[in-house]
Amino acid sequence: MSDWWRGSVTYQVYPRSFQDTDGDGIGDIPGITRRLEHIAGLGVDAVWLSPVFTSPMADMGYDVSDYTGIDPLFGTLADFDALLDRAHELGLKVIVDQVISHSSDRHPWFQESLRDRTNPKANWYVWADANPDGSPPNNWVSVFGGSAWEWDATRRQYYLHNFLTSQPDLNFHEPEVQDALLDVMRFWLDRGVDGFRLDTVNYYFHDTGLRSNPPAKPDDDWPPVNTYEMQEHLYSKTRPENIGFLKRIRALVDEYDGRTLVGEVGDTRERSMGIMGDYTSGGDKLHMAYSFDMLGPDYSAGHFRSLVTRFFNRASDGWPCWSFSNHDVVRHATRWAENADTHDGLVKQALALLLSLRGSVCLYQGEELGLTETALEFEELTDPPGIRFWPDYKGRDGCRTPIPWEADKPHGGFSEVKPWLPVKPPQLARSVDSVEADPNGSLAFYREMMRFRKSRPELITGDIRFLETEEPVLAFIRSTDATRTAVVLNLSPLEIDLEIEGLNLMPNAPVQAAKTGEGSLILGPNGFGYFDAQEDAAIRSA
């Protein structure tokens, strides 16, 4: 099972919003353990935990002040061990988030580094002198807005922060930093975790010459809300030295049986597929990588076809991990609503598409319920970029609201007290117990689709070949030497008439609004079907 990750399905848990058991309105590790059977019941292979490490929570745990401690908000190391044991009993792997491109400014490493320019950790973070006029050393900007440089009066230098000012970037050009972070990973591997999700994996290194980034090419939406999008980030991230450190991480992980690495690539659509390919090819770096390309507004056949094709053209031996929602983006049930005939119709079709693409898959908590983005008032926000850029950008809180478990309980059964983000009526209407009671609902379909996928090896590790189709029809064949399945989807809220050759609707397979006749196929709104396919299968508009 050393390659269990290939074609796997991972369920992402955002711990603050999963289940509160200690009555503080914030989800915790015992709450996750309590609800693990729900996750296992979906038929997934692994669970990914967003950060639970010690943190001042300026960025909700993505600002770590102790890489080997559990924040008291979430519990204890003993609680984590209990979760790990229970997950393994249920057949679930456990992947933990590693946020190592930066730390919290409360981390002891940074506190020592800022003390002076000669201490043992003076070079563990990215420090630079001011320009003669006092301005920052270059034009690099923060993902969260403003300059990526912050002046420190003690050292009388600027330090680099690609995110919040309280998230200083570690200096990966310093060998001791690399060694220390590898020791952190070894700590969790020895504890029994099954792998790591590496946050902002292409941000580790910076250009040592501190060259300024060139401007980005203006588009139709120019100027953007955030100045970060006004630069082409050639020198502040995705540097060639990254490859060498990824190889060091992989060598460490390979000392342990059956462990895996999945990296988050944050870059433009023009570059991200290439970076994913470079970081996963060759068998000596990441096992998998994902980007934000499928986490945006585009829901078209050409979009999905081009991304998959570009990835495998770049890295035939690499491996992607696809997802449609996560803790950083608007939930896809809301994001793609204009493509829906009915809410559940879109939710089911999106899953059928996701689980049929070549690659591994990550599901985000609550999408099995068909949860939509929560509409929040400004006063309810906690997310720093949402507060800064409101109302043009409302931040990430809307996808992070608590899971509603029971419709008839306060706050949906998530907590007995007011939670850190509200549970509102549209989300409460899709509570776990409510959706569970519907045999034709999204939760039942997620389980059905997972069972079907596991019964078809070609859907897990098989090759993929796209058929020539016109919008809004997406069609492809997944195949192994012994098996072949065609998937045909109508990515629109309108009915489509098609002529088909060499395709026969597969009995006992998931299907939605699909009818076949002699050489014909009618796909209703958001319709899809699975087909036994001949080698010369073809589809044409009727």
Task: Tell me if 449 sits within 8 A of 352, measured CB to CB.
Answer: yes
Tokens of 101: 């491109």
- Residue 345, helix vs strand vs coil: helix
Q: How many residues does the chain have?
A: 542
**CA separation for the pair 446, 516 (Å, rounded):** 24
Tokens 């559940």 belong to 344
Taking phi over 0 as left and psi of -120 to 50 as alpha, with beta for the rest, 315 belongs to: beta
| Burial of 264 per CB tally in 10 Å (0-12, 13-18, 19+) | buried
Task: Tell me if 479 sits within 8 A of 356, measured CB to CB.
Answer: no
Radius of gyration of the chain (CA): 24
Query: Which residues face 141 on adjacent strands?
Result: 147
Catalytic residue among 219, 255, 518, 535: 255
Catalytic residue among 63, 79, 199, 367: 199
Q: Give catalytic status of residue 257 as yes or no.
A: no
Q: Give catalytic status of residue 255 as yes or no.
A: yes
DSSP H or E segment with residue 176: helix 175-191
Taking phi over 0 as left and psi of -120 to 50 as alpha, with beta for the rest, 160 belongs to: beta
**CA separation for the pair 174, 177 (Å, rounded):** 6
DSSP 215-257: BPPP-TTPSPSSGGGGB--SSSS--TTHHHHHHHHHHHHTTST
Distance from the Cα of residue 5 to its chain's centroid: 15
Tokens 């899953």 belong to 351
Which pairing describes strands 260-264 and 288-290: parallel, antiparallel, or unpaired? parallel
Query: What CA–CA distances, in Å, run from 158 to 128, 129, 148, 165, 169?
Result: 5, 6, 9, 11, 12
**CA separation for the pair 489, 485 (Å, rounded):** 13
Task: Tell me if 415 sits within 8 A of 402, measured CB to CB.
Answer: yes
Tokens of 397: 């809180």
Q: Which of 377, 434, 369 is nearest to 402 (CA)?
A: 369
Which residues, 6 or more positions from 323, have their beta carbon under 8 angstroms from its beta carbon? Answer: 12, 290, 294, 295, 354, 361, 362, 363, 364
Active site residues: 199, 255
